[in-house]
Amino acid sequence: MKILVINAGSSSLKYQLVDMDGEKVLAQGLCERIGIDGHLKHKPSIDGKQKFDADVSLPSHSEAIEAVIEKLTSKEYGVLNSMSEINAVGHRVVHGGEYFNSSVLINDEVLNAIEACTPLAPLHNPANITGIVACKKVMGESVPQIAVFDTAFHQTIPGKAFMYALPYEYYENDKVRRYGFHGTSHRYVSARASDMLGKPLEELKLISCHMGNGSSICAIEGGNSVDTSMGFTPLVGLPMGTRCGQMDAGAIQYLMKKHGYSIDEMLHILNKKSGVLGISGISSDFRDLDEAADKGNERAKLALDMFNYWVAKTVGGYAAAMNGVDAIIFTAGIGENSKSTRADICEYFTYLGCQVDEQANSKRGEEIFISTPDSRVKLIVIPTNEEIVIARDTCDILDKK
């Protein structure tokens, strides 16, 4: 079975074609600048087929999907004889609100519910919907489309953790609550951790640290998400590349009044100019910050220290909330690659009986225990793979059809 995995953004579209027989990625790529001018990068994984990297006219997502199908089926760059070899499409959808606690086959009712969640994710859901509609248009109604939600995994979080202490009607009438994001990633790494630990998920208390441009931490008990650091939106929790993380609404009002900012201007600052970029004044990329801190830049060091501190105290909070933890997982760009960030964070965990194996921690981008064999709580690096979860869910739903 061959599954096309689509992650549609407002002006971009990432794709992966996966052969579920052996879970092999046959090709992957990225359409950029959709609706502006257009650029396509396509990389087949089959010998003898060529990469493609050039400007192509992409006035809308439909043309982007057409360009992807054209490349996937072309003699020079392709890995398929025809589009009909694609059995189904799995879409990443950011927000499923309280409608979806698992992946679903998309029909009109589902599409309406995704649409109904748009006010909760005004930047992401419309782009995801555009990707779904474009696939239907180009590939036809007969190819099943499946939605896999970033929020679904967190629907098991109990009320005491997902409620905000606001008047209750804002939850009841307006659905204001913690939803959490990165659910597909937290789900994937927790399942891998269970395999690596040789214990069923039902018996494990895990804390997953997804640390990339956006970062979130998730407490997973018995395979279920029981708390997570992102909230109603992905803005809160840890300080991130450019997002502020936890913030006092009173300080926001103070700054808006003092500088005459509109709410949109203020949110732009909180989303795009804050986090480690805002603190350091240098970059949102941890590689740049590591380099600057090594050269003695105090603000870069402060930004890194703040990030590590927030990870440590969030993990500590979740260990307390679950009354224990068996393993702490690091994943995503920073979690998979930055040995210094991992080492600095783990210094906070000696009270948990964590001991870092320095040699193992010097490795990058592979599944590995970075704790010593006698470490009470295990420390694990697991490269995330959201695409394979989307492809597997798509396959499972097709099998049940």
Residues within the interface to ligand ADP (CB under 6 A)? 212-214, 241, 285-287, 332-334, 337-338
Task: Give the shortest CB-286-to-ligand ADP separation in angstroms.
Answer: 3
- Tell me if residue 47 falls in helix, strand or coil: coil
Task: Give the shortest CB-210-to-ligand ADP separation in angstroms.
Answer: 8
* Nearest residue to ligand ADP, by Cβ distance, number only: 333
CB 43 within 8 Å of CB 28? yes
CB-nearer residue toward ligand ADP: 219 or 332: 332
Dist CA 313 CA 315 (whole Å): 5
CB-nearer residue toward ligand ADP: 180 or 214: 214
Task: Give the shortest CB-155-to-ligand ADP separation in angstroms.
Answer: 22
Question: Which residue is listed with tokens 């991130």?
Answer: 240
How many other C-beta atoms can be found within 10 angstroms of the C-beta atom of residue 361? 20
CB-nearer residue toward ligand ADP: 156 or 297: 297
CA distances from 48 to 29, 79, 81, 233, 325 (A): 17, 10, 15, 44, 48
Task: Give the shortest CB-336-to-ligand ADP separation in angstroms.
Answer: 8
Tokens of 94: 């950011």
DSSP 119: G
Tokens of 96: 């499923």
How many other C-beta atoms can be found within 10 angstroms of the C-beta atom of residue 21? 8
Beta bridge partners of 337: none
Dist CA 337 CA 351 (whole Å): 25
CB 80 within 8 Å of CB 70? no
Catalytic, out of 53, 55, 108, 150: 150
CB-nearer residue toward ligand ADP: 180 or 241: 241
CB-nearer residue toward ligand ADP: 33 or 175: 33
- Tell me if residue 173 falls in helix, strand or coil: coil
Whether 374 is catalytic: no
- Tell me if residue 344 falls in helix, strand or coil: helix
Question: Which residue is listed with tokens 């307006």?
Answer: 174
Task: Give the shortest CB-100-to-ligand ADP separation in angstroms.
Answer: 22
Q: Which residues are catalytic?
A: 150
